[in-house]
Amino acid sequence: MEYIDIKSDSLHKAVEQMNCEGNIFGYMDGDDFHFPYSSVPEPKGYELPKNKETGIIFPNCCPYHKGVFESELKWFDKFPNCCKQHREMSKKWWFVRDNYNTIAKKIVTQLSYTEHLIFERIDKEDWFKNITQYFEYNFESFGHPSIGAERYAHHLKWYIKNNKTTATLEKREALIEYIEDYSKPANTKTTDLNVLYQIYQKWLKIFPFELSMFNHLKTRFEKNLPIIKGTPETNQYTGKTTFSVHTKESLFEVLIEITNTIITSINVKSLYDSGNLTDFGKIKLELLLSSRQLKINQGYKNNSSTIEQRYRKMLKEWFEDEQAFINELEPLLNQKTKELKNYKDEYWFIIGLHFATGKIHELLEKHHHNFTQVAIELGNKNYRPFISESKSNTNKKDKNIFSSKDKLKKIQIHCTENKIPMVQDFLNKINGFK
């Protein structure tokens, strides 16, 4: 492909589409751009056909190639007045007849190339994929809008059908069917990619990634855009990769399947089975809050006969939901507050806080590393094992505060919220926790 002609106003509109809120794709119609036909190089091992008796070279080497060439020259004499389609095409902004002066030679030459490739590949294991990808390569070489591809396809079908020594009947029929299907007008439903993008963004907002059990998946799905349907395929001759795009309906089906896969593989039961359900209160609170948020996002609607009845019933449903929500929320918050107060009275927290501020280090220096004296100065000799085991940090017992990431984080949060400075040694232990 040497160049592409694009209507500037159409390109500007496509860029404006991408600048609209909620859009990341812009579109141009097929009539808004054009690229001319391009040459196709000789396939590997190809030799220009030559009449063995007369020495006359291609395309006058034999009646078949000579006939194809002459029929295409006659067609081009009438072009673009050969048919209604080409007459309409000649009125387009990009059309210049002289740009197609070599189209007859191109058609017969690429037909000859294709004959050679079929002969070379027909008995290979991947014969169908290889040959049809070469067909596609040739079809695309006739530019956009395509001029001449339909005539190349006509002669190619005739050759495959009548050259019975080339391949079995089944293979010839398969190749002809491919050509006919490729030549048919596309009858696919066009999907706006921006619509697919917006559907996916809505799903991201609806799915409860705020739950700690799902939070690790959020970044992965935010970077994803599952609009490709099936497996992409690369043409070995053009180097282009093609793929099918989901419709709205099929994307919804994919998102339903993704949702089902996540919630059936990650849930309270699976956390319990794997031993990762350590904070019942936290999970219960998260589930309650996310459930309420889901209902709020869904909104309140009512189909009563009168407008007044609608908003009255909407408010009634909202009040009932709010009352039920607060009745479930209150005991959880009370329990959380109780737990918060409780752990701040525990020995590990008190001693951990002194480690965080560096006071333990100062007292150990003062009392020559006498753990008992340090505990007594802090007001309770029962602090001693928490000080000694945390200082040595050689075991995983519950009295060693540095063996628990959860305890360290609670101390860090407390210090941060209350603007209590932490020594670097304590911060290093948190950052280095595995």
The set of residues, in sequence order, having a beta carbon less than 8 Å from that of 147 and lying 6+ positions away, is: 37, 86, 89, 100, 103
- The residue out of 295, 324, 339 marking a domain boundary is 339
**What does pTM read for this prediction?**
0.61
Domain containing residue 202 = 193-339
Are residues 353 and 216 located together in one domain of the fold?
no
Does residue 160 register a pLDDT over 80? yes
The set of residues, in sequence order, having a beta carbon less than 8 Å from that of 128 and lying 6+ positions away, is: 171, 174, 175, 178
Could you give the CA distance from residue 130 to residue 422 in angstroms, rounded to a whole number? 68
Q: What residues does 229 pair with on adjacent strands? A: 244
- The residue out of 279, 309, 339 marking a domain boundary is 339
Closest CA to 107 of 178, 58, 62: 58
Tokens in use for 307?
């407008």
Quick check: is 31 in a domain? no
Please report, in angstroms and rounded to a whole number, the separation of the first and last CA atoms in the chain.
56
Distances (CA, A) of 241 to 233, 327, 364: 5, 57, 69
Tokens in use for 216?
């690790």
**Comparison of pLDDT for 158 and 191, the residue scoring more:** 158
Which of 280-294, 348-362, 368-382 has the least mean pLDDT? 280-294
Are residues 369 and 248 located together in one domain of the fold?
no
Are residues 139 and 261 located together in one domain of the fold?
no
Average pLDDT estimate for 61-78: 94
Average pLDDT estimate for 364-386: 92
Are residues 102 and 51 located together in one domain of the fold?
yes
Average pLDDT estimate for 339-367: 87
- The residue out of 128, 161, 183 marking a domain boundary is 183
Q: Per-residue confidence at 374, pLDDT binned at 50, 70, 90? A: very high
The pLDDT value given to residue 302:
84
Are residues 363 and 332 located together in one domain of the fold?
no
Quick check: is 225 in a domain? yes
Average pLDDT estimate for 192-205: 91
Quick check: is 325 in a domain? yes
Are residues 406 and 281 located together in one domain of the fold?
no
The pLDDT value given to residue 362:
93
Are residues 109 and 201 located together in one domain of the fold?
no
Are residues 263 and 177 located together in one domain of the fold?
no
The pLDDT value given to residue 189:
63
Element (H, E) at 234: strand 228-234
Total number of domains constituting the chain:
3
